[in-house]
Amino acid sequence: MAPTVALRLGRLLWLAGLLPWAPAPAAAGLYELRVITDGPATTGAEVTISAGLVAKDNGSLTLPADARLYRFHWIHSPLVVTGKKEKASSSTIHVVGNVPGDFPVSVWVTAADCWMCQPVARSFVVLPITEFLVGNLVVTQNTSLPWPSSYLTKTTLKVSFLLHDPSNFFKSASFLYSWDFGDGTQMVTEDAMVYYNYSIIGTFTVKLKVVAEWEQVEAPTKGIVQKTGDFSASLKLQETLRGIQVLGPTLIQTFQKMIITLNFLGSPPVTVCWRLKPECLPLEEGECHPVSVATTAYNVTHTFRDPGDYCFSIRAENVISKTHQYHRIQVWPSSLQPAVFAFPCATLITMMLAFIMYVTLRNATQQKDMVENLESPTGARCCCQMCCGPFLLETPSEYLEIVRENHGLLPPLYKSVKTYTV
């Protein structure tokens, strides 16, 4: 196709070079020629091409009132002209292409009475002709999103095929549409418009095959004629950010590492922003540093240094919507800090108890030594005391002596030092 276009452009330049270059009139260079067309078109369909002469400085110049001062010249081969219409400052032709290709159409304007003069203005347009149907696949949704080809899941889509047929070439044709929505769903309809609802997020390609069929009654071909066309549109299905699920502790100690998992109920990417506050209040713009998250989960790590009641204020948004969430946390003093002081206290208490026991045992030992040094009473008195019981004892010392004689004494913890006088 490219060599064909180059060949035809070269032919146009060659034809333009054949134009005589005589002295230009005063109007040359003051105007430009604008060419518009309703192409592209299928083979056999009529195409309209219009050329209009306008002033270059946005209309401050006026065109001559007499339109017969200028003449429009067209080069359109191999397209066949089916009609032509001239106006005061414009010219319109109707052409038909019987073979597919990209065809350049050139037009220029000269003075009506000076064929040897330089053109007042010139222009050209490339007209695509195809053997297939020409049209567009249009997808619309009630909810508009801020970026192209993006739509919401679980919301009805309207998918329509718009046939490009300005000359009403397919007025007697019947159409059949085969739809493939890219998620495994296919259908065949006779209507150019369908409604569909995607239930999951993702990028899908809607494919459409159109078949047009009609009966041709005029030459050169008679009988049933059929034309087809394949069309597609890429769709990105997203979900609104319905909320944030927070998974993490609500009670923690100081100097302990805390990990909170945020699960986003919506489509990534998500912009996340969080901050610790004494109260659960929404975050304002610029109050925290946003982080871009490409998945539906994100971990927040923090270590508290001071005890107290805190609130994690979290803001998340995707290009569809935004939401806020809060998570309260109570921070208690770390258990390691009381243990540091508990060990010295326990040690001190143990030492004090040991000292008290030591003093008690020492006093008891001294009393036992004193009992051993007392003289033993007579056997008769001892017998009487043993029979009569401790209630008949005259003094406590006598009771201690009887107990010692009947039960024995523990050996002293230390031997008493005896003193000798020389």
The per-residue pLDDT for range 266-279, each reduced to its tens digit, is 888 889 999 988 88
Which one of 130, 154, 177 terminates a domain? 130
Pick the most confident of 69-78, 106-115, 173-182, 369-378.
173-182
Non-local CB neighbours of 113 within 8 Å, separated by 6+ positions: 69
Domain count, the chain: 4
Same domain, 9 and 30: yes
pLDDT at 59: 53
The answer to whether residue 155 is domain-embedded is yes
Label residue 351 by pLDDT band (50, 70, 90): confident
Same domain, 203 and 139: yes
The answer to whether residue 327 is domain-embedded is yes
The answer to whether residue 13 is domain-embedded is yes
Same domain, 101 and 7: yes
Distance CA 175, CA 39 (A): 21
Q: Which domain holds residue 283?
A: 244-332
Same domain, 103 and 21: yes
* pLDDT single digits (tens) 56-115: 765 555 655 555 678 899 999 999 999 999 887 889 999 999 999 999 999 999 888 776
The answer to whether residue 46 is domain-embedded is yes
The answer to whether 278 and 303 are in contact (CB under 8 A) is: no
Same domain, 10 and 122: yes
Same domain, 170 and 252: no
Label residue 128 by pLDDT band (50, 70, 90): very high
Distance CA 363, CA 74 (A): 137
Average pLDDT over residues 158-171: 95
The answer to whether residue 188 is domain-embedded is yes
- pLDDT exceeding 90 applies to what percent of the chain? 40
Same domain, 234 and 292: no
The answer to whether residue 347 is domain-embedded is no
The answer to whether residue 343 is domain-embedded is no
Same domain, 212 and 113: no
Same domain, 12 and 125: yes
Q: What is the pTM of this model?
A: 0.61
Query: What tokens does 162 get?
Result: 């718009």
Q: Which CATH number fits the domain that encloses residue 50?
A: 2.60.40.10
pLDDT at 16: 44
In the block, tokens 């309209």 appear at 48
Which one of 220, 238, 256 terminates a domain? 238
pLDDT at 267: 81
Average pLDDT over residues 328-352: 71
Label residue 129 by pLDDT band (50, 70, 90): very high
SS3 30: coil
Same domain, 10 and 115: yes
Q: Which CATH number fits the domain that encloses residue 249?
A: 2.60.40.2950
The answer to whether residue 348 is domain-embedded is no
Non-local CB neighbours of 399 within 8 Å, separated by 6+ positions: 390, 393
- For strands 101-111 and 90-96, give the pairing: unpaired
Same domain, 16 and 77: yes
Which one of 104, 130, 156 terminates a domain? 130
pLDDT at 365: 67
Same domain, 258 and 306: yes
